[in-house]
Structure 1
Amino acid sequence: MRSVADRIRHAVCFEFIGVIIVSPLAGWLFHAEMHKVGILAIAMSLVATAWNYVYNVWFDRTLLRLRGRVRKTLGERMIHALVFEFGMLLFTLPPVMWWMNYGFAQALTMDVSLMVFYLVYTYVYNLGYDALFPIPEPESSYSR
């Protein structure tokens, strides 16, 4: 399992890099004022950071309990990313509607577009992060 410090580094780096990439991209794609998109991206980043931490602890504990390991297979990585992004969609749709003054359809389009971006980004980021900072395997309590 990852340490608390490692999980914090993971979440903070993920959100920082994501905001740097997505703010200008979303402003351009949605013809939105850059300061509004930037503020929205930072607010969503704070929500995502908290969700990222809670979700990853839960996912790793569940994987360890069900599979006896925390290292994810390709399929588990896909499920991990999809469930994370759908959770984010539930948390972020109302604030996008309010802050951007969008109707449901326009906010959903923006949110789903961000979800698709972050779905790919989540997979690539976690793959790279795990390569740079491998997950230590839990020590077995069984004697050999």
Structure 2
Amino acid sequence: MELFHFGALALILAACAMSCNMLYNHVFEWFETRYCWMRTIVVRIGHTLGFELCFMAVALPITAWWMDISVGKAFMLDLVFSLFFMLYAFCFNWVYDIARHRLNMRTK
């Protein structure tokens, strides 16, 4: 696969991830407010898994089409990246929650 072709896919998926992230977090925070969820580890795990499923629903067809492969092959290709970014997203959001909580405690 030509590097330019693969690089263009990476840029497309990055734009999709950013858009999905904004929309997903907006919806998630609406549910969080509506149902008074606390940002526990379990909620963060659900948040991370939910985002990954949402993003994969968008990314897999694009990847399959762009690379001219089946959705199954695109899934296998995306699986390793998804596991890495799921772990990254979970850790990032968890640290964000801790930092936001501490900042809120200082301002009160």
Common topology (TM > 0.5) = yes
Query: For residue 77 of structure 1, what is the amino acid of its counterpart?
Result: R
For the Cα contact (< 8 Å) 1:89–1:112, is it kept in 2? Answer: no
Alignment of 1:1-144 (within 5 A): 33-67=2-36, 72-132=39-99, 134=100
For the Cα contact (< 8 Å) 2:39–2:97, is it kept in 1? Answer: no
For structure 2, which runs of at least 5 residues remain unmatched after alignment? none
For structure 1, which runs of at least 5 residues remain unmatched after alignment? 1-31, 138-144
Aligned to 1:25: none
* Matched position secondary structure for 1:106: helix
Please give the alpha-carbon distance, in whole angstroms, between the structure 2 residues aligned to 1:61 and 1:88: 19
Q: Structure 1 vs Structure 2: percent identity of aligned residues? A: 27
The offset of 1:33, in angstroms, is 4.2
Aligned length: 103
What is the CA deviation profile of residues 72-128 of structure 1, one whole-angstrom value per residue up to 9, with x for unaligned ones?
100000000001000111101111112122223221101222221221111012123
Please give the alpha-carbon distance, in whole angstroms, between the structure 2 residues aligned to 1:128 and 1:33: 37
What is the CA deviation profile of residues 22-55 of structure 1, one whole-angstrom value per residue up to 9, with x for unaligned ones?
xxxxxxxxxx544333221211111111111111
Please give the alpha-carbon distance, in whole angstroms, between the structure 1 residues aligned to 2:40 and 2:55: 22
